[in-house]
Amino acid sequence: MLSSPWIAGLVALFLWWFSTGVILLAVRRADREGAHARLWCVLMNLPFLVLGAAGFVDTLNDTSVAGAYVAFFAALALWGWVELAFLTGVITGPVRVPMQEGLPEWERFIRAWGTIAYHEMLLAGLFIGMIVLSYGAENQFGLWTFAVLFFARISAKLNLYLGVRKINVEFIPEPLNHLPSHFRTARMNWLFPISITGLSFAAACWLERIWASTGPADTVGFALLAALTVLALLEHWFMVLPLPDEKLWRWMLPERPTPTQAILQSEDAQ
């Protein structure tokens, strides 16, 4: 059953929804408890980083169906820990203040880059390390999974910077309250059609690979990649279509503290 591409696609869909929800839940709870809780949240989840790295290395020459799944899970674990570190404000960038209006475009870009610089460099370092480790390996699905996440996230951030119609700031945590000032609202930008075309082409390539696969492991691996790429494509469309995508996770998250609660928590921390 697990060798079915349909099951693999559903697994990818569930992990996308569930892992996103769990990360948002952890960040929201840490937000309610203050800066120390955010740091401990990242440190307590370090096993996911370690297990992700171990799973990635262990499956490099595993060409079984299980190897394809574990490589996919490992890449998600690596990615998820880095995203958790970013959303808690532990690993972000040197710029942590809102953007001032009226800045020239070159300075606006540098300041926007400064808000995420350390996070992006960590992701790039992990990606380069995975490329080196997987060179010549038989199981490349972990690397390709991380690559899809890496390039889709860069595309999404650039589109937010250049301007999109819908910007969902509901789930932005307290340490990143300055981020929306670096976004821009616009009906369209020059990069969005390129992003949509590129992701659509990538999804089509993975689907073609499923059709041409000669073994169950390849079928599962490419089905996982196809589903993940389609989800990345869907996330891009959420930026321009008036769809309430935030409802997918809002119901499972605790309410944000009110201003009075936030003041009381700050006083308790002191």
Average pLDDT for residues 140-151, to the nearest whole number? 98
pLDDT at 170: 84
* CA distances to 102, 141, 206, 248 from 210, in Å: 50, 13, 6, 29
DSSP state of 164: B
Residue 84 has pLDDT above 90, yes or no: yes
Angle, helices 5-33/35-44, rounded to nearest 10 degrees: 150
Nearest to 120 by CA among 85, 73, 160: 85
Point out the least confidently predicted range of 8-17, 150-159, 165-174, 190-199: 165-174
Which pLDDT value is given to residue 265?
47
Q: Give tens-digit pLDDT for 239-266.
A: 999 888 888 888 767 776 554 444 344 4
Give the whole-angstrom CA distance, residue 196 versus residue 114.
26
pLDDT at 260: 41
How many angstroms separate the CA atoms of 184 and 99, rounded?
A: 11
Residue 257's pLDDT is: 57
Q: Where are the domains of the chain?
A: 5-269
Residues 6+ apart with CB under 8 A from 49: 77, 78, 81, 82
User: What number of residues does the chain have?
Assistant: 270
Percent of the chain with pLDDT over 90: 83
